[in-house]
Amino acid sequence: MKVFFHFSRAVVCFTVFFYAQPGISQSLLDQKKQELENLKEEKQELEKEVENLKLKNIIVSLQDIGYPAGEKSLKILEHQALVVGYDESHKLAQWVFHKLIPDVNFGNVTRSNDFRPDPLLGDQSAVQEDYFVTYDRPDGSKQYDGFGFDRGHLAPSADFRWSATALSESYFYSNMTPQRPGFNRDSWAAVEDVLRGIVYNEPKEYFVVTGPVLKTGLPVIERGKNKLSIPEYHYKIIVDTSEDKPRGMAFLMPNEECDYPIDYYVVPIDSIEALTGLNFFPGLNPQLEEKIESQSNFSDWKTGKPKGDVAPMRKEKLPEGVINTVEAGYHAGEEKTVLGKVVSVKYIPSSQTTFLNLDRGFPGQIFTISIWKRGRRNFSYKPEEYLDGKYILVTGTIEPDRKQVPTINVLNEKQIQLWDDYRGGVR
């Protein structure tokens, strides 16, 4: 009995201790959670301060190197991440000046699509009705009536994915021109990709000027509210002013789908000056300016286009009901069939996970297929080996991954079909 008494007392003591501990631990846990939340808030505040400082430095450096100058008087619109030289007679920018910085390689701010008038222009800004109008149908849905032109970016939104503020500014209508769809979505996009490839391979800061070639007598969008001029050509200039490797080049492209390789359209910056009457980078040392602006050597630049990358399948070549990898970004939450080429793969043995990137390889991927362990069990082949280099169709719900890249999670090999089989009628 005595033994039992002592044993019982020990059990009681242990029980009291055991149940008391969680209360103490919970209090400490709550305290640490609050400390963590405070640190997160401090981190967000610091990140915002750093972003604001970067934006201020960008504008200062643009001012130092000098805004493009010409005989015609322009309205200068200074935003936080870009500067616009606005031609009121055409209701378009004659030039947009910004910097392409290494932060773009790690930024994950997703496109906002908040197209809107430029607040610095008031009622003088171009508007949505310059590009298309919508009507309300009886069932409450919208009917779209386009005028045949895209609202094409001059400074591309993807150049600003390191800053929500900067990216949002890229959607001002002052940063748009009427661009034919084949030009905006293919040819012009390819030039933008090349410049981001440069900053990926050689991480430094670059000055970029983009604009349409404006002149009297250009056709206009007759149905548009402001009857915007339709440029025949667009140019894009990139300059590296670093001491070790100062250089520059320009692209001049017709406002149409361009069939030649990108380097075919490379010209000296001097030729763009002669065509537009503008003097670019007037703040540079004259000798350095002359050296940079006379160059047009595409091979001097590490464009960073990964070997094997391909252009997304053109819309007119897609089967009915199938979209390409670019369009996938506009269908988050929807079940779709996406067609593209597997250009890079990665298999992680520890988690038995496979990633397949279509059309653009890592780290510039634009669409990813994820096959997790539970889905991999339902494959009769190793997807990272069998599908590599092949055009495929994948069906599933499109969701953004943590970097906002459109992704389909595949649970069964039946969700994937080879393009060759599809065209051959194999189902």
Q: Is 2 helix (H, G, I), strand (E, B) or coil?
A: helix
- Out of 10-14, 310-314, 390-394, pick the least confident: 10-14
pTM score of the predicted model: 0.67
Q: What are the C-alpha distances in Å from 391 to residues 177, 357, 387?
A: 34, 11, 8
pLDDT above 70 (res 366): yes
pLDDT one-digit tens code per residue, 320-359: 999 999 899 889 999 999 999 999 999 999 899 999 999 9
Structure tokens at 190: 């390819």
Mean pLDDT of all residues belonging to the chain: 90
- Angle in degrees, CA 353, 355, 359, rounded to 5: 170
Q: Summarize the confidence of residues 302-320 as an average pLDDT.
A: 79
Angle CA 73–76–81, to nearest 5 = 155
d(CA 323, CA 314): 9
288/336 Cα distance (integer angstroms)? 52
Model confidence band, residue 306 (pLDDT cutoffs 50, 70, 90): low
Distance CA 244, CA 234 (A): 30
Predicted local confidence at residue 24, as pLDDT: 66
Q: Find out whether 264 and 252 touch, Cβ atoms under 8 Å.
A: no
Integer angstrom CA distances of residue 355 from 78, 139, 260, 406: 42, 42, 32, 13
Is the per-residue pLDDT at 10 higher than 80? no
Q: Is it the case that residue 233 has pLDDT exceeding 70? A: yes
pLDDT at 23: 55
Inter-residue contact 402 to 373 (CB < 8 Å) = no
The predicted-structure confidence for 140-159, as pLDDT tens digits, reads as follows 888 999 999 999 999 999 99
Indicate the pLDDT class of residue 33, thresholds 50, 70 and 90. confident
- Domains in the chain, CATH or no CATH each: 61-300 (3.40.570.10), 315-423 (2.40.50.140)
Question: ∠ CA 53-100-255 to the nearest 5 degrees?
Answer: 135
pLDDT at residue 44 is higher than 90: no
Residue 336 has a pLDDT of 97
Pairing of strands 406-409, 368-371: parallel
Count Cα neighbours of 200 within 13 Å in the Cβ-side half-sphere.
17
Q: Is the pLDDT of residue 14 over 80?
A: no
Angle, to 10 degrees, between the axis of helix 269-276 and the axis of helix 286-293?
100
pLDDT over 90 for what percent of the chain? 70
SS (H, E, C) 355-388: EEEECCCCCCCCCEEEECHHHHCCCCCCHHHHCC
| Token representation of residue 311 | 């252009």
Worst-scoring range by mean pLDDT, 18-27, 72-81, 282-291?
Answer: 18-27
pLDDT at site 261: 76
Task: State the Cα angle at 391 between 388 and 393, rounded to 5°.
Answer: 110
Residue type, 138: P
Residue 178 DSSP SS3: strand
**218-222, 368-372, 380-384, 400-404: segment of lowest average pLDDT:** 400-404
**Residue 314 DSSP code:** P
CA geometry: angle at 316 spanning 310 and 320, to 5°? 105
Say what the pLDDT of residue 413 is: 95
| pLDDT of 229 above 50 | yes
Average pLDDT over residues 361-369: 87
Q: What angle do CA 220, 222, 225 make, to 5 degrees?
A: 100
Q: How would residue 17 be classed by pLDDT, with cut points 50, 70 and 90?
A: very low
For the cut 90, the answer to whether the pLDDT of residue 313 exceeds it is no
Question: 31-40, 84-93, 250-259, 410-419 — which is least confidently predicted?
Answer: 31-40
Tell me what pLDDT residue 363 has.
75
The residue ranges of DSSP E strands in 194-279, in sequence order, are 206-212, 233-240, 247-254, 266-267
Q: Span 225-246, mean pLDDT?
A: 96
Task: Please enumerate in sequence order all residues whose Cβ is within 8 A of that of 273, keeping only pairs 6 or more positions apart, or say none.
Answer: 279, 280, 293
Q: For residue 161, name the pLDDT band (cuts at 50, 70, 90).
A: very high
> Is the pLDDT at 210 greater than 50, yes or no?
yes
Note the pLDDT of residue 7: 43
Q: What is the DSSP letter of 111?
A: P
User: Mean pLDDT, to the nearest integer, of 127-137?
Assistant: 94
